[in-house]
Structures are given as structure tokens and as C-alpha cells.
Amino acid sequence: MVRKIQILSVLKLLRPHQYIKNGFVFLGVIFSGQWDQTTLMSAGLAFLAFCVIASSVYVMNDILDVEADRKHPTKKT
């Protein structure tokens, strides 16, 4: 049970619900009509890279702002 809570906490920290915005990299593939494997692979790698970078920025921000968030009326909970 503790392990499940830890995994859920890490997922919440990474904010995967924000990844939907990174899906816009696939719009270039859709509108260009280039459905070849190389283009799809490049778009997929770009999507993954954006997700990793976004999550790392969220985590870094949480670490740097932990003291300010503890004092904030709504963020402290």
C-alpha cells in the first residue's frame, strides 16, 4: 500500500495531465501528410522529449518553491 502511494505521489509530481499540450507536435505530421516511419518516429521522440523536459521543470520548480508554497494559503494543503 505504501509503495502504491509513493508511485501516485511521483506521478502527481510529474503532472502527466499536462502532456496533452505536447501532443501538438503531431499536428505537423497530420497537416503535412507525411506518414512515413521516420517522420512519425521523430514526432514521437519530440513528444517524449517535451514530456521529460516539462516534468523536470515542474519538479525543479516544486523544489525551489517549497518554502514559499508552505506559506501560501491554498498551496500549503
The one-letter code for the residue type at 56 is S
Would you call 8 helix, strand, or coil by DSSP? helix
Q: Alpha helix locations (H) across the chain?
A: 2-14, 25-32, 37-64, 66-71
State yes or no: pLDDT of 76 exceeds 80. Answer: no
User: What pLDDT is attached to residue 69?
Assistant: 83
Burial of 41 (0-12, 13-18, 19+ CB in 10 A): exposed
pLDDT tens by residue, 11-53 = 999 999 999 999 999 999 999 999 999 999 999 999 999 999 9
State mean pLDDT over 64-69: 90
